[in-house]
Structure 1
Amino acid sequence: MVEHRFPNTKPLADHSLDDDSYLDYFYDIPGSMPGTLNIESDASPPIIVLIDYNEAQAVRQEVETPEECVPFLDSESVSWVDVKGLGSEDILRRLGQVFSLHPLVLEDIVNVPQRPKIEEYDDQLLIIARMVTMKSSGSGFVSEQVSLILGRHYLLTVQEEPEYDCFGPIRERLRTGKGTIRKQGADYLAYALLDSIIDGFFPVLEEYGEKIEELEDEVVSNPSRQTLEKIHSVKRELLGLRRAIWPQRDAINALIRDGNDLISHEVNIYLRDCYDHAIQVLDMVETYRELTASLMDVYLSSISNKMNEIMKLLTVISSIFIPLTFIAGVYGMNFDPSKSPLNMPELEWYWGYPACWAVMLTTAFGLVYFFWRRGWFENLSTVVTKDTASGKHLPHSLMRR
């Protein structure tokens, strides 16, 4: 993992699930100057997209400089300025000047990752959220910070990465005028984006639900070292999802409870639905975490049962061959029958050798019959998976809740 160090901060890294950075939050070294911006060297250059709309129309344009947004900020229409990428300190500082951002607001926007939160300023409302999307490869997810600065007639959003985004349906509704979004103000747009961020957790959790189902089958039928690594990986990733959604739920709840002059009563009601979705996401995350923890127990039980199967099989084989070994050992002694009539007289019998085999086979089959009657050969595996040949299914206690 490549780390980029800055004078006043902890090491920064790519916030993907290739490392443990998704479990961390940004922090400054004690005593550093407030408002310091620390930008990663590999951060994407900012792309600024402006969507200005009213009930009649919506205009979308990509602007080169933040100053081009100034004429739209005081108009009666709603302006959504979407900034993707944090790779230019100059553009970000100019953006702060255009929107009159407090230095601490700009610091929270740029120095990622921050804990999701809601902060009120004179005429602005800062919302820090975590947005998760599945990787294009289909394995794992990407967690990035989205900052929303709500003004009276505008909304400024700043994203870490330009590649991952769940705002496509919102842009389409603005373009086509479907629904009531173009009839509402900037606060409704902020709600719509926040709701889209929360709803973006559901497809990710659906993928993890399928992973857990596959792990349930694997841990019962054929557990291995790789299975244990997969369970551990899923546990850590679910912990990352929990750390992303838990503070967002609290932040939305605080916004609903305390209210804000920039949020109308009607939009405040919509935020309750957003809060309800956050609760559902958190419940799903907690359920999956419990299932994953139980998978670890099932894995240990499966390994123990597999060892018991092996020991039982070896015990059966040993129990059969112990008397046979005894008989073979007795007749392997070098006593000369010609010296004494008590020295194994059966060695000189005409049917002595077949009689010995008959006794050994009778003993072996007798033990096998005895073990069979005792039920030793039944249910050698105490953990039964679905048998595609016989159509048997998992016990209900092991089926997914």
Structure 2
Amino acid sequence: MARFLKKRRHKAGQSPGAIVFVGERKIETPRLRVMDFDTEGLREAAPERSDELAHYCGLSSTSWVNVDGVHDAQLLREMGEAFAIPSLVLEDIANTGQRPVFEAFPDVLFVSLKMLSLAEDGVTVRAEQLSAVLTPTCVLTFQERPGTIFEPVRDRIRRPSGRLRRLGPAYLLYALLDCVFEHALRVVETLGERIEDLEDDVLSDPGPELLETLTAARREMAYVRKAVRPAREVVLRMLRSDSDLIPESVTPYLRDLRDMAEQTVDVVEVYREMLGDHLAAYNMAMSNRLNDIMKFLTIFSTIFIPLSFLAGVYGMNFDVMPELHTRYGYFILLGIMGTVAAGMLVYFRYRKWL
């Protein structure tokens, strides 16, 4: 499947709000996980059916419902009915090729962006869509596959004292997005270290393998840029939102998140420019190498032009050529040819062509 654009042939002709899964199924059966907490306690559960989630809507505590797997349209539809999620939001959740977006509704905020990670080879960047729905008492997150990126948040929730227990669902959403951006920045830093290490290779040992490495790094950085630039706009729109679901107490944390998003974008742009400089230096190094080869061949050919002339003159089959019958003519001609070649080398060095 294409990395930069997901195929949407199954959505053609569908009405707005139709729940049609777009992407690659990464888990066979969706999994539900719930953490319900307040300052008094924490309750964790792993419901097997979506109808078990309905009672979390009316609680005074904060509930975090996480869904691994977004390909089950029936599950999304039932959750939409239970938590009053608009159909357009459900459509975007099922579309894993959705561009990072922030949408504000009267009783719901919707955030969708990409979570970045490195594949097993340590070079290829993978992106997984994260969709989050914020309600007055709940945060619902939808991931394509199970992962450990949010384990630090779960560990913080399990601690009795802390802001996550006190500041409500909006702060929980901030904490989740903070994990996403920290992970993205870590991925960019890992790629950046490899890009910086390529500088010495560009100058000392340019070759086809290095060009392939540079091209692959440029492709991966473009993929990262496609994910983080719109994600920054999501945070900016959250800051400008006047929704009552985002209290003033959470705004300073969103500003910190904005700074991290801008830092991530800045680092990506720096490394993209560095890759462009590496490619320019690679092309210059290859051009200089080609020039050196051409210079050597030109000098080699230039030296042999007069030698070929002499050999051609005395290689003619005329009978009347006095030099042909000279006792030491062969050695004299070799001496003249050697003298001509040595003289030309001295002249080239004097002109600093060698």
Fold conserved between structures, TM > 0.5 = yes
Give the Cα–Cα distance (whole angstroms) in 1 for the partners of residues 184 and 161 of structure 2: 24
Counterpart of 2:339 in structure 1 is 362
Q: 1:64 aligns with which of 29, 35, 48?
A: 48
* SS across alignment from 2:133: strand
Question: What is the rounded CA distance, in whole Å, between the counterparts of 1:374 and 1:272 in structure 2?
Answer: 65
Separation of aligned partners in 1, 2:196 and 2:78: 50
The answer for the alignment partner of 1:144 in structure 2 is 128
Measured against aligned partners, the alpha-carbon deviations of 1:352-386 in whole angstroms (never above 9, x if no partner) come to: 33333322222222222222232233xxxxxxxxx
Please tell me the root mean square deviation across aligned C-alpha atoms, in Å.
2.5
Q: In 1, distance between residues paired with 2:172 and 2:252?
A: 14
Equivalent of 2:239 in 256, 259, 262: 256
Which stretch of structure 1 is more off in the superposition, 181-190 or 360-369? 360-369
Residue 322 of structure 1, aligned match among 305, 308, 315: 305
1:376 corresponds to 2:340 = no
2:19 corresponds to: 37
1:43–1:86 CA contact under 8 A, matched in 2: no
Q: How many residues align?
A: 352
> Which residue pairs with 1:49 in the alignment?
33
C-alpha distance in structure 1 between counterparts of 2:312 and 2:13, whole Å = 84
C-alpha separation between the residues in 2 aligned to 1:307 and 1:41? 46
Which residue identity does 1:355 align to in structure 2? I
Q: Distance in 2 between matches of 1:27 and 1:151?
A: 32
Which residue, 293, 316, 326 being the options, matches 1:348? Answer: 326
| Superposition pairs of residues 1-400 of structure 1, within 5 angstroms | 13=1, 20-23=2-5, 32-39=14-21, 42-44=25-27, 45-162=29-146, 164-177=147-160, 179-336=162-319, 343-345=321-323, 347-349=325-327, 351-377=328-354
Q: Which amino acid aligns with 2:103?
A: E
The percentage of aligned residue pairs carrying the same residue is 37
Distance in 2, matches of 1:121 and 1:28, equals 27
The one-letter code of the counterpart of 1:311 is M
- The 1:178–1:133 alpha-carbon spacing in structure 2 relative to 1, beyond 3 Å, is farther
The CA distance in 1 between the partners of 2:283 and 2:3, in whole Å, is 29
Letter in 2 for 1:32: Q
User: Relative contact order (alpha carbons < 8 A, sep ≥ 6): 1 or 2 greater?
Assistant: 2
1:390 is matched with which residue? Answer: none
The farther-off stretch of 311-320 and 362-371 is: 362-371
Higher helix fraction (1 or 2): 2
Letter in 2 for 1:268: T
Q: Helix, strand or coil for the counterpart of 1:69?
A: helix
**Paired AA for residue 133 in structure 2:** I
C-alpha distance in structure 2 between counterparts of 1:317 and 1:41, whole Å: 60
Report the Cα distance in structure 1 between the residues aligned to 2:24 and 2:236, rounded to whole angstroms: 36
Q: Which moved more, 1:174-183 or 1:196-205?
A: 174-183
Which residue of 2 is the match for residue 7 of structure 1? Answer: none
